[in-house]
Amino acid sequence: MYRKLVLAAFALTAFVVVLGAYVRLSDAGLGCPDWPGCYGQLTPHHAADDIARAQEAMPGGPVSLPKAWKEMVHRYLAASLGLLILAIAALAWRRRADPTVAWQVAVALVGVVIFQGLLGKWTVTLLLKPAIVTGHLLGGMTTLALLGWLALRAWSIPRLEVGASLALSLRLGLVLVAVQIILGGWTSTNYAALACADFPTCHGDWWPEADYRNAFHVVRELGMTAEGELLSQEALTAIHWTHRLGALVVAAYLSVLAFRLARQPGAGKWAALLMAGWTIQALLGVANVLFSLPLPLAVAHNGGAALLLVILVTLNYRFGRVSAPAWTGRNHENAYA
């Protein structure tokens, strides 16, 4: 039962992460401008009159019946995921002596999902502040990564010993992918995905004019600087260009990492998977720029980020155990003799 619940929660989290991207990218994040219900009602159907009045007052605005349903379906599934994680934590605590149960991770997940629920609330009530929306995205990715780790442990996936250098390189690869996801989330939540509409240059330049000071000021309203002025095109360019440069760094690092993995016995298919993962993600990023951010490609790019994160988590689990030094064992006894 524990393993089935972990697997179900992992699959549901992956779906909720992609659905959340779809809700955000289709401008449905404020489809219901209150929380946790919709105009105080359980479903958009019960709030149809309030939604109609809001749409009449602001045609083409953030509120409509289809957008409200998108937002509420996302909330329903996220709430279901929270209940699943509570059940997993309870079972993990009861079976904490079982080596296949990482009960500390399962209990920590409860805290993560509670904070994630609060971020979901603040996303709506604080009107899509970039820092809150980006944090909400990261909370979903963190939940996915931790559930992936629990699943690997629950299904007793074997762990192979490698040299300390490769293990450290795998951990650094995971950190770089996480940072790139943060940059991608910041780009998306600031609506800077099309700040550079050409590729590989930006506005025809290899180093475009940019305002990095205002671009990465965290505490501010959507589309505004910390001083309350409109965010400039140069600031949006800085956000986009930084994400693009980050992608270049990550691609180069993961290519070298895949080459090193390919030389490790039993890791050839994992090296190929890593190469395929970052290549697909990079191509999706380029396609989003060249085709002006079509919704399916934009959602797929978010899904690609989640997939790449899961690949790095799996690699760190499989090959993250450092092998014992050559001088241990019998040589260690001889040294004292």
Which residues belong to the active site? 71
- The shares of helix, strand and coil residues in the chain, as percent rounded to the nearest 5, are 65, 5, 30
Query: Are the C-beta atoms of residues 214 and 273 closer than 8 Å to each other?
Result: no
Tokens of 83: 């209940």
Is the alpha carbon torsion for 158, 164, 168, 169 positive or negative? negative
In sequence order, which residues have a C-beta less than 8 Å from that of residue 147 and are 6 or more positions away?
6, 9, 10, 13, 85, 109
Helix H or strand E segment including 11? helix 2-25
Give the three-class secondary structure for 230: strand
Q: How many CB atoms lie within 10 A of CB 64?
A: 20
Closest CA to 144 of 172, 181, 173: 181
Query: Are the C-beta atoms of residues 254 and 280 closer than 8 Å to each other?
Result: no
- Which DSSP category does 327 fall into? T
Tokens of 301: 């790019």
Query: Are the C-beta atoms of residues 79 and 58 closer than 8 Å to each other?
Result: no
CA 211, CA 105: separation in Å to the nearest integer? 40
Angle between helices 65-94 and 2-25 (to 10 degrees): 160
Query: Are the C-beta atoms of residues 44 and 51 closer than 8 Å to each other?
Result: yes
CA distance from start to end of the chain: 52
